């Protein structure tokens, strides 16, 4: 390992800020202390695994895309739809990744540029599944917030549901909407 890993070390501290960064849309929904971008990215990866498997795509690849898909938000923040109305164009995640990997060993840098590019190009089956997972994760979080009392979360549930495109993603969304948020505990304890 004679290569200099300083740029990698810097990136890992940079990534750490996404444990602090909140998904800012939830502030509008009334949630004072919402999930972090990291929290969201993690369950998105679980869901990407599942949708990809059900769709016959590569679950590991879909999870991999999901894990990395928001890493550019360390620099732009989680800018919502409303904010984009007031700027000319928005940041391209590929530009940010290019900056983030500068100085990393090239074999690694290339792999990271590739994973972000694949997600942004929205074409591979795994990218499509990971993007659906991003929406479905938001929908489930919305259901959870609604069950915690936030009445305005309904808007996020409806909007997210409407943006899911795969057959498996839609079926899974419907299953989620038909399942109580605490049913898992009852099932785990053998109550039903």
Site for a copy of itself in 170-189 (CB under 8 A): 170-172, 174-176, 178-179, 181-185, 187-189
Query: In this chain, which of 122, 151, 158, 162 binds a copy of itself, going by CB under 8 A?
Result: 151
Query: In this chain, which of 57, 63, 138, 164 binds a copy of itself, going by CB under 8 A?
Result: 63
Calculate the CA 9 to chain-centre distance.
23
If one asks whether residue 67 binds a copy of itself (CB under 8 A), the answer comes out as yes
Least distance (Å) between residue 122 CB and a copy of itself: 18
Least distance (Å) between residue 126 CB and a copy of itself: 10
If one asks whether residue 92 binds a copy of itself (CB under 8 A), the answer comes out as yes
* Angle, alpha carbons 63-153-162 (nearest 5°): 55
Q: Which is nearer to a copy of itself, 33 or 122 (CB)?
A: 33
Query: In this chain, which of 91, 117, 120, 125 binds a copy of itself, going by CB under 8 A?
Result: 91
Restricting to residues 19-38, name those near a copy of itself by CB under 8 A: 19-22, 24, 27-33, 35-36, 38
If one asks whether residue 57 binds a copy of itself (CB under 8 A), the answer comes out as no
**Neighbour-count burial of 54, counting CB atoms closer than 10 A to its CB (0-12 exposed, 13-18 middle, 19+ buried):** middle
Length of the chain: 192
Least distance (Å) between residue 124 CB and a copy of itself: 13
If one asks whether residue 71 binds a copy of itself (CB under 8 A), the answer comes out as yes
Tell me which long-range contacts 25-34 makes (C-beta under 8 A, separation of at least 24): 25/78, 25/80, 25/156, 26/141, 26/145, 26/156, 28/80, 28/152, 29/142, 29/145, 29/150, 29/152, 29/153, 29/155, 29/156, 30/150, 30/151, 30/152, 30/153, 31/145, 31/150, 31/153, 34/145
Question: Six-digit token pair at 159?
Answer: 């909007």
Least distance (Å) between residue 167 CB and a copy of itself: 5
């Amino acid at each position: 390992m004679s290569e200099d890993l300083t740029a990698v070390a810097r990136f890992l501290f940079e990534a750490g800020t996404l444990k602090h960064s909140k998904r800012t849309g939830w502030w509008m929904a009334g949630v004072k202390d919402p999930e972090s971008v990291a929290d969201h990215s993690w369950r998105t990866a679980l869901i990407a695994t599942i949708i990809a498997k059900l769709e016959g795509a590569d679950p590991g690849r879909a999870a991999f895309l999901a894990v990395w898909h928001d890493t550019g938000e360390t620099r732009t923040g989680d800018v919502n739809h409303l904010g984009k109305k007031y700027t000319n164009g928005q940041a391209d995640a590929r530009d940010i990744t290019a900056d983030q990997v500068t100085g990393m060993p090239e074999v690694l840098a290339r792999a990271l540029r590739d994973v972000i590019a694949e997600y942004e190009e929205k074409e591979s089956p795994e990218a499509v599944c990971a993007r659906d997972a991003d929406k479905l994760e938001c929908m489930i979080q919305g259901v959870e917030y609604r069950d915690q009392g936030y009445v305005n979360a309904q808007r996020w549930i409806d909007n997210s549901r409407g943006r899911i495109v795969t057959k498996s993603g839609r079926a899974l969304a419907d299953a989620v909407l038909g399942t109580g948020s605490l049913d898992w505990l009852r099932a785990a304890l053998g109550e039903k």
